[in-house]
Amino acid sequence: MTDYQLMKRGELVEVLLNKLVLQNRHWTEKGSVASYIPELARASSSHFGVFTMTGEGKNFHAGDFNELFTIQSVAKPLVLLLALLDNGVEAVFKKVGMEPTGKAFNSIDYLEGSTQKKPLNPMMNIGTITIYSLIRGKDNDEKFQRILKFTKELSGNHNLTYDQSVYLSEKSTGDRNRAMGYLLRNIGTIKENVEELVDIHFRVSSILVTCKDIARIGLVLANHGIDPDTGKRIIPKNLTQIVNTIMMTCGMYDGAGEFAVKVGLPAKSGVSGGIMCIVPNRMGIGVYAPSLDEKGNSLAGTKLLEALSTELSLSIF
């Protein structure tokens, strides 16, 4: 609690973040950087940064918070949110479930034996591909541009672009996602052109962000849809709560349960090493460290979030 009082004095929060980066830096030497495409394999495993942003407009950071990395699955909550805005809650969850699976992010299982043919949740790849099919747009490019614009709006960074070489490399190796797309067509969940859907997926996954960008997106979710700069509501509260909840139960894949116990906050990880973490009503957090644990979550990033949650009593439980 003393730490939290320190928190009120900005300079000391910065001290705390720096301390946590220092204490957890050794974790960057464990685990391994994603290597399924050369562009990701090139990431420096020593990079380690954190950025926190509060509703009162206070920003703190430490380490390599300025590094650019591809957003990867951290985009999933955003795409879900846009799909909810485009279609409403009922229409979205007709196509995808809300249940955690205890399975890896790239599991191809769907509700086996169920009368409802739909992926178990929107945080797994097979669920996300389904969600992409619900994004409005007259063609594939417009759909992507709408997601990019939405990402710019929530991150407050209007210069976001995507990494062309990561995109092309993902596209050339993304056969598992194609398999999921065709399976979804086969079971009647989607009608769209699979190659187009996975193309959006690969482009969105390649959007370049920093810890600050995802911290601010997290803050909009923590604020339940209030833009932190204008104070205006840009997303209905109930939609942000749905997304936060699904991040809690499904956001860290088959490590979601342990993350919930140890950190106690909704979060979403990506294979490039980013984690976006939400402290409802209080804060958005972005961390980045490319070396991953065996479940595909940033190892040092997770450890830092555990320590930060403990030090500042952030758990919502």
Chain contacts with a second copy (rule: CB under 8 A)? 97-103, 108, 112-113, 120-121, 175-176, 178-183, 185-186, 194, 241-242, 244-246, 248-250, 254-258, 260-261, 264, 266, 280, 315-317
Please, what sign has the CA dihedral across residues 17, 207, 224, 189? negative
User: What b/e sequence results for 17-37 when a residue is b if at least 16 CB atoms lie within 10 Å of its CB, and e otherwise?
Assistant: beebbeebbebbeebebbeeb
- Nearest distance in Å: CB 310, a second copy: 9
Cβ atoms within 10 Å of 126's Cβ, excluding its own: 26
- Nearest distance in Å: CB 303, a second copy: 16
Helices (H), 156-255: 164-173, 175-186, 194-205, 211-222, 237-250
Please say which residue, 200 or 207, places its beta carbon nearer to a second copy: 200
- Nearest distance in Å: CB 106, a second copy: 9
Please say which residue, 256 or 312, places its beta carbon nearer to a second copy: 256
- Nearest distance in Å: CB 145, a second copy: 27
Instruction: Judge whether 137 and 149 are in contact, CB under 8 Å.
Output: no
Please say which residue, 108 or 208, places its beta carbon nearer to a second copy: 108
Please say which residue, 44 or 313, places its beta carbon nearer to a second copy: 313
Please say which residue, 63 or 251, places its beta carbon nearer to a second copy: 251
- Facing residues of 233 across strands? 226
- Nearest distance in Å: CB 154, a second copy: 17
- Nearest distance in Å: CB 115, a second copy: 11
Phi then psi for 265, rounded to 5 degrees? -140, 150
Please say which residue, 100 or 286, places its beta carbon nearer to a second copy: 100
Please say which residue, 264 or 274, places its beta carbon nearer to a second copy: 264
Instruction: Give the span between the Cα atoms of 106 and 124, in whole angstroms.
Output: 7
Instruction: Judge whether 285 and 63 are in contact, CB under 8 Å.
Output: no
Between the alpha carbon of residue 51 and those of residues 9, 37, 230, 265, the distances in Å are 16, 27, 20, 16
User: What b/e sequence results for 203-232 when a residue is b if at least 16 CB atoms lie within 10 Å of its CB, and e otherwise?
Assistant: bbbbbbbbbbbbbbbbbbbbbbbbbbeeee
Instruction: Judge whether 276 and 4 are in contact, CB under 8 Å.
Output: no
- Nearest distance in Å: CB 89, a second copy: 9
